[in-house]
């Protein structure tokens, strides 16, 4: 009897959208599937900032355990939430074609505050640091919860606006009319990409899921996550990375940034390499950042985040 591939997912609307998208793609290939939804600690504990819950893997740990226990065969994640080192026995089976990589500001119809003072909400230290770097007179407050919860909190607050990943809002049709593309903000490594992970020794499932892989997205997210890993920053550190393939010049372009929590220190790097030189691009850019003062910023970040726990 042919195996039914059990798809593990968080139970938020966005996570379920991602799981159903993968389910349809697998079923279109002619295979049977079942979706199994579980709650992660990151969804349950909403009164603490992410860095207090542990630097990496807060949204993926529950599904990792379910997979290692044999309850599910694959898990679908927003790739930016996935730690750069996967648990032993679990491998990256496919990266789907990337959606919108940008962050957007959802506001209440008036942008005058951008010229004066304002209060912006985000649960991301990367967004916080980049916002304060650009708008040092503003206040940034913590915003937690799934996309729907965060949109509701913004609606009920007196905040000027909140920062979201465009892809998340677009996927579940929540993107409002009053938004601003933050094309100056470097996205999180692998933002806009979905990843499917599976057990390493599950040959059948890996062969099926590998057919969903988009090579260009796989390479670009590899470069970005290599940059993150070399800096030794967890998913929550103020690190941005964006790699893209330039068809005209047959090159990979990369932009990376590392900031202090208050946004006052910022090291940015941009590099373009021939297509055959992509394998060490993230590593080389991270090394340059570390040599330009990034090592001191990372040391300070580690001590600050440790103190805040």
> Which active-site residues does the annotation give?
81
DSSP state of 243: E
Q: Are strands 139-141 and 266-274 parallel, antiparallel or unpaired?
A: unpaired
| 3-state SS class at 202 | coil
The DSSP call for residue 200 is T
**Residue that the structure tokens 């990367």 belong to:** 126
Measured between alpha carbons, how far is residue 35 from residues 22, 28, 115, 266, 284 in Å? 10, 15, 47, 42, 40
Of 19, 107, 67, the C-alpha closest to 198 is 67
Q: Which helix (DSSP H) or strand (DSSP E) does residue 74 occupy?
A: strand 74-78
What does each C-alpha distance from 111 to 37, 118, 123, 160 come to in angstroms? 39, 10, 21, 8
Q: Which two tokens stand for residue 254?
A: 């990369």
* Alpha carbon distance 205, 180 (integer Å): 41
């Amino acid at each position: 009897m042919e195996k039914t591939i059990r798809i593990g997912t968080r139970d938020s609307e966005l996570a379920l959208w991602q799981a159903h998208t993968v389910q349809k793609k697998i079923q279109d290939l002619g295979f049977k599937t079942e979706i199994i939804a579980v709650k992660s600690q990151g969804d349950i504990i909403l009164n603490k900032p992410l860095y207090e819950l542990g630097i990496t893997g807060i949204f993926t740990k529950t599904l990792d355990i379910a997979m290692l226990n044999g309850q599910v065969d694959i898990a679908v994640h927003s790739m930016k939430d996935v730690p750069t080192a996967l648990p032993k026995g679990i491998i990256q089976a496919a990266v789907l074609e990337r959606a919108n990589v940008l962050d957007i500001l959802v506001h209440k119809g008036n942008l005058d505050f951008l010229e004066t003072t304002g209060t912006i909400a985000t649960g991301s230290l990367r967004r916080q640091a980049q916002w304060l770097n650009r708008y040092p007179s503003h206040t940034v407050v913590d915003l937690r919860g799934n996309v729907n919860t965060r949109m509701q909190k913004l609606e009920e607050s007196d905040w000027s606006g909140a920062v979201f990943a465009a892809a998340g809002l677009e996927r579940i049709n929540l993107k409002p009319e009053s938004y601003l593309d933050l094309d100056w903000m470097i996205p999180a490594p692998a933002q806009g990409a979905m990843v499917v992970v599976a057990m390493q020794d599950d040959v059948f499932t890996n062969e099926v899921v590998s057919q969903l892989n988009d090579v260009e997205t796989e390479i670009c997210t590899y470069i970005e996550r290599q940059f993150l890993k070399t800096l030794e920053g967890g998913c929550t550190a103020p690190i941005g990375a964006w790699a893209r393939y330039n068809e005209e010049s047959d090159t990979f372009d990369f932009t990376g940034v590392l900031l202090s929590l208050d946004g006052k220190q910022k090291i940015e790097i941009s590099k373009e390499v021939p297509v055959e030189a992509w394998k060490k691009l993230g590593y080389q850019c991270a090394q340059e950042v570390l040599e330009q003062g990034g090592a001191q910023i990372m040391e300070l970040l580690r001590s600050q985040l440790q103190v805040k726990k």
